């Protein structure tokens, strides 16, 4: 599969024959794949370098907290994507694994492991593509927010200082340079200050606020 090469993949499984075989198959596809027998060994590898994917191989006969549910619970708080592989298919455990955040839940015997490799590659690449898309969307959203702040601040200066759009923008940019900060940051601070000023003005203009400002001896006695 195009683009599905050179990924760092770590495998965890009590049945080393399964995890080691799958690691070999992934290595044949050009991946840096390593199999581990214990969670302690895997955590040490994670501390050294974060992988692109973790594959948890659940042995036949495993169920409950030692099965797919436990494996999903182990990694669902991590930002590292993971795939669950079992040789003992149980629909309840498979659903729990998927709900726990697994990219895929696969069932395979030792002999059919080669058929799992394309599915693992496809799941990982789709995940990486979606992650990249989300990152681009976040960047675009941030850029739009900055542009809106600059536009709004420019409009404020146009109104308050009786300037045209170009003059107001140049004044805003000059002020940002004087403060040695980004234009969008200065614009945001300006708008925030304006909101605070308006809130203070509204508060001081309320009847309750005027009553509080009156001196005690200036009020008519209610007696």
Predicted TM-score (pTM) of this structure: 0.62
Regarding whether 107 and 16 lie in a shared domain, the answer is yes
What is the pLDDT at residue 78? 67
What tokens does 143 get? 């850029």
Regarding whether 187 and 125 lie in a shared domain, the answer is no
Rg (CA), the chain: 30
**Interatomic CA distance for residues 101 and 89, integer angstroms:** 18
Regarding whether 129 and 61 lie in a shared domain, the answer is yes
Distance of CA 166 to the CA centre of its chain: 38
**Interatomic CA distance for residues 62 and 65, integer angstroms:** 9
Q: Could you tell me the CATH number of the domain that includes residue 184?
A: 1.10.10.10
What tokens does 26 get? 């992934």
Mark the ranges of the chain whose per-residue pLDDT is less than 50.
1-3, 62-66, 209, 211-223
- CB neighbours of residue 166 within 10 Å: 10
> DSSP letter string over 50-84?
--SEEEEEEPTT--GGGSHHHHHHHHTTSSS-EEE
What is the pLDDT at residue 201? 67
Regarding whether 126 and 66 lie in a shared domain, the answer is yes
Regarding whether 20 and 81 lie in a shared domain, the answer is yes
What is the pLDDT at residue 17? 85
Q: Is 67 inside any structural domain?
A: yes
Of 100, 133, 166, the residue at which a domain comes to its end is 133
Dihedral over Cα of 161, 167, 172, 178: its sign: negative
> DSSP letter string over 131-181?
HHHHHHHHHHHHHHHHHHHHHHHHHHHHHHHT--HHHHHHHHHHHHHHTTS
The CB-side HSE value for 142 (13 A sphere, CA atoms) comes to 7
The domain of 161 spans: 135-206
What is the pLDDT at residue 124? 87
């Amino acid at each position: 599969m195009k683009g599905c090469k050179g990924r760092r993949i770590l495998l965890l499984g009590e049945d080393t024959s399964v995890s080691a075989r799958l690691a070999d198959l992934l290595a044949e596809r050009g991946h840096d794949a390593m199999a581990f027998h214990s969670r302690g060994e895997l955590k040490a590898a994670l501390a050294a370098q974060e992988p692109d994917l973790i594959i948890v191989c659940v042995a036949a006969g495993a169920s409950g907290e030692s099965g797919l549910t436990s494996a999903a619970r182990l990694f669902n708080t991590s930002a590292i994507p993971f795939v669950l592989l079992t040789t003992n298919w149980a629909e309840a455990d498979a659903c729990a694994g998927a709900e726990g955040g697994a990219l895929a839940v696969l069932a395979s015997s030792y002999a059919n492991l080669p058929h799992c490799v394309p599915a693992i590659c496809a799941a990982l690449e789709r995940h990486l593509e979606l992650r990249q898309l989300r990152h681009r969307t976040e960047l675009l959203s941030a850029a739009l927010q900055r542009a809106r702040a600059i536009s709004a601040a420019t409009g404020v200066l146009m109104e308050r200082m009786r300037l045209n759009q170009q003059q107001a923008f140049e004044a805003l940019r000059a002020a940002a340079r004087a403060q040695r900060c980004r234009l969008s940051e200065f614009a945001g601070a300006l708008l925030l200050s304006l909101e605070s000023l308006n809130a203070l003005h509204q508060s001081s203009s309320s009847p309750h606020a005027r009553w509080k400002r009156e001196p005690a001896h200036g009020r008519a006695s209610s007696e």
